[in-house]
Amino acid sequence: MIRFFTVFSLIFLLACSVRAEPPLLFLHGSPYQGELMYGYATPGSTVRLNGEKLSARKDGWFLFGIGRDDKGTLTLSVEKGKAKIRKVLRIKPRKWRIQKVNGLPQNTVTPNEEEQKRIEGENKLVEEARKKKVRRSVPLCFSVPAKGRISSVYGSQRIINGVPGGQHNALDIAAKTGTVIRAPADGVVLLAHEDMLLTGKTVLMAHGNDLTTSYIHMSKILVKEGQKLKKGDKIGLIGMTGRANGPHLHWTVMWKDKRVDPQAFLRNSAAFCSASAKPAKKAKKAKAAVKKSVKKAAAPKAQETPKTPDEKADKEKTPAIKTDKKEKAAPEAAKKKTEETAKEAEAPKDKPSAPIAEKENKK
Ligand SMILES: [Zn+2]
């Protein structure tokens, strides 16, 4: 009997050591074009997107962006030791708005040779700045950087001064010149440039894990290169420097070299942060109750859902962006010159979603 038990135990132990525990993979968000997805993988595992290694936070959370024109599928893989899981996401298409923009300074639309050179040089500066290595853990809770009217959404196909132009892969928030722009989350200033031909007074911020944001057309810059900013710190003031026909903030959110939809990101971030705040609050209450009452009571069990450590940020609610078209709030110039035509950009509807647990285990 003893021998049988020993053999059985040995087999059991052997089985345990051979069969590696599969890592976890959670996703938050829907894989629409322009989306910034949230992911969670067991800390210490290697996460790859289409074979390329992703930079994740120590606690396992990571972000990845989908470009406006990306199509097909994305393959996420998570490896921990010998165990591996894989998840294939099909990119969901969106429809984009067509927008007529008139009254822009003509030299910014059809620059001469000299101006073209200047633009190229300035683009290089931004590119170089974006490459700077930043050792930061990306915050997960972002807020809107300025209060105002949404004058242009992400993804629109533009007709500039009557000629088909590029895409608008950013969000425009129109408000009076001098309106304060604040850091939507902690980060460091990569670039602060006083005069760029197209973007005017320009600030570029890095938040960590390949996420950057930029602030364009400002009337005043209130930060310096290399400065560390906390969420809510002043970056500058709204203006209309560079290629602009009215005072507004042109806000870009980038993951690696992909420009993502800032509005979709803010919605996703708000849903993510309010959802993760609940279990955290519950845990705090439970812990306090345990302390107060019986000392011998067992401590509450660990959270089942991974939670974000951005507890401070959780408390601050993301201010809603005003999307109403109150003429009073709109600056005259922008109102006259920016005509928005065509249909509303089709916004993703099945979001935000609850984290999806991946249970596939492909050894
Ligand atoms: Zn813009």
pLDDT category at 297 given cuts 50, 70, 90 is: very low
CA 29 to chain centre: 11
Residue 210: name the closest of 177, 253, 248 by CA: 253
328 C-alpha to ligand 1 centroid (Å): 20
247 C-alpha to ligand 1 centroid (Å): 11
pLDDT category at 6 given cuts 50, 70, 90 is: low
Helices (DSSP H) in 91-235: which residue ranges?
A: 106-109, 113-131
Residue 205: name the closest of 221, 227, 178, 220 by CA: 227
pLDDT value at residue 5: 54
Neighbours of 165 (CB within 10 A): 16
Out of 67-81, 83-97, 193-207, 288-302, pick the least confident.
288-302
168 C-alpha to ligand 1 centroid (Å): 6
Mean pLDDT of the chain: 79
Query: Residue 214: which residues within 8 A CB-CB, separation 6 or more?
Result: 126, 199, 202, 203, 204, 205, 251, 252, 254
- Using CA atoms, how far apart are residues 172 and 127, in angstroms rounded to an integer? 21
Q: In CATH terms, is domain 98-264+311-340 a member of 3.40.718.10?
A: no
pLDDT value at residue 363: 32
pLDDT value at residue 111: 84
54 C-alpha to ligand 1 centroid (Å): 29
Write out pLDDT tens, residues 82-138.
Answer: 899 999 999 999 999 898 888 777 777 888 899 999 999 999 999 999 988 888 999
Instruction: Map out the domains of the chain as residue ranges.
Output: 17-93, 98-264+311-340
Out of 8-17, 112-121, 122-131, 151-160, pick the least confident.
8-17
217 C-alpha to ligand 1 centroid (Å): 9
Residue 16 in this model has a pLDDT that exceeds 80? no
Beta-ladder partners of 255: 211, 258
Write out pLDDT tens, residues 250-294.
Answer: 999 999 999 999 999 999 999 999 877 665 555 566 556 545 544
pLDDT value at residue 279: 54
> Domain 17-93 belongs to what topology?
Immunoglobulin-like (2.60.40)
- Using CA atoms, how far apart are residues 143 and 187, in angstroms rounded to an integer? 13
Q: Give buried/exposed letters for 12-32 (b at 16+ CB in 10 A, else e).
A: eeeeeeeeeebbbbbbbbbbb
pLDDT value at residue 200: 95
262 C-alpha to ligand 1 centroid (Å): 12
Share of the chain above pLDDT 90, in %: 57
pLDDT value at residue 285: 61
Residue 323 in this model has a pLDDT that exceeds 90? no
Q: In what helix (H) or strand (E) does residue 208 lie, and over which residues does it extend? A: strand 200-208
Residue 209 in this model has a pLDDT that exceeds 80? yes
pLDDT category at 194 given cuts 50, 70, 90 is: very high
291 C-alpha to ligand 1 centroid (Å): 53
DSSP summary character for residue 187: E
Residue 159 in this model has a pLDDT that exceeds 70? yes
Write out pLDDT tens, residues 23-68.
Answer: 889 999 999 999 999 999 999 999 999 999 999 999 999 999 999 9
Helices (DSSP H) in 207-322: which residue ranges?
A: 262-292, 311-315
Out of 118-127, 141-150, 175-184, 350-359, pick the least confident.
350-359
